[in-house]
Amino acid sequence: MINKPSAIIFDLDGTLVDSARDLTAALNHVLRRAKRPEIARERVRNMVGDGARALIIKGFTESGELPSAHEIDDILQEFLDYYLENITQQTIIFPGALSVLEKLTQSGIPLGLCTNKTLKLTHKLMSEIGLSDYFDVIVGGDSFDWSKPDPRHITSTLELMGCSVARAIMVGDSANDILAAQKAGMTSICVSFGYSKTPVHVLNPDAVIDHYDDFFQAMTDLCKDF
């Protein structure tokens, strides 16, 4: 492959996997326990991306007064326990994503995963759904003292991979991913079927794909500029 990327970094939730059903179930579990109304999955989709604590804060803010910081700590632990136990009950790999990972691996392109999900949850999800072996490095939201949209989350992932920012591509679904890539000086591909609250074209990624069938054409076009 001529002018192939030096590395490709993928986001997880909303990019490689559709985890909204399981995240919704976990959030509604703690909401029910607190006697709060449940939230529809389509609404929860737009709350995902900043980590579990942020999801809980957004969820509880939807239905009334925000609990105290101490109460949120307890709710977070209950959420994590439930989610860890049920993390892949309804989570699926987005259509075409597995084929893309297989072909990229066969091409010898280093792959990294950079998500704001905690590393413990990430490893369990990736292992159970069968994606772990495709990645040279897997980084979570608690792997460093910073997380997306801080560009150091991506650049630190690349450092662990032994790859440079030059000719690397970030693949994500939200402002956190695209902003981090832009600040890092990286090329970005945004999927249109993820959890972004903002229309993806407004994020100004270098390419947008509507299905993973479009991935390699987008990658090839971007690589012409490398």
pLDDT tens-digit series, residues 112-170: 999 999 999 999 999 999 999 999 999 999 999 999 999 999 999 999 999 999 999 99
Whether residue 11 lies in the annotated active site: yes
Residue 184 has pLDDT above 60, yes or no: yes
In the prediction, which pLDDT does 225 show? 80
* Active-site residue, from 11, 13, 22, 173: 11
- DSSP annotation of 158 reads H
List Cβ neighbours of 127 (8 Å cut-off, separation of 6 or more).
none
Token output for 12: 């997880």
pLDDT tens-digit series, residues 10-45: 999 999 999 999 999 999 999 999 999 999 999 999
Task: Grade residue 197 by pLDDT with cuts at 50, 70 and 90.
Answer: confident
Q: Whole-structure pTM over 0.85, yes or no?
A: yes
Q: 181 φ, ψ to 5°?
A: -65, -45
Distance CA 200, CA 171 (A): 12
DSSP per-residue letters across the chain: -TT--SEEEE--BTTTEE-HHHHHHHHHHHHHHTT-----HHHHHTTTTS-HHHHHHHHHHHTSPPPPHHHHHHHHHHHHHHHHHTTTSS-EEPTTHHHHHHHHHHTT--EEEE-SS-HHHHHHHHHHHT-GGG-SEEE-TTSSS--TTSHHHHHHHHHHHT--STTEEEEESSHHHHHHHHHHT-EEEEETTS--SS-GGGG--SEEESSGGGHHHHHHHHHTT-
Task: Grade residue 226 by pLDDT with cuts at 50, 70 and 90.
Answer: confident
Domain range list for the chain: 7-18+92-223, 20-85
Q: At what angle do helices 52-62 and 20-33 cross, to 10 degrees?
A: 60
Token output for 91: 């989570």
Topology at the third CATH level for domain 7-18+92-223: Rossmann fold (3.40.50)
- DSSP annotation of 93 reads E
Q: At the top level of CATH, which class does the domain 20-85 belong to?
A: mainly alpha
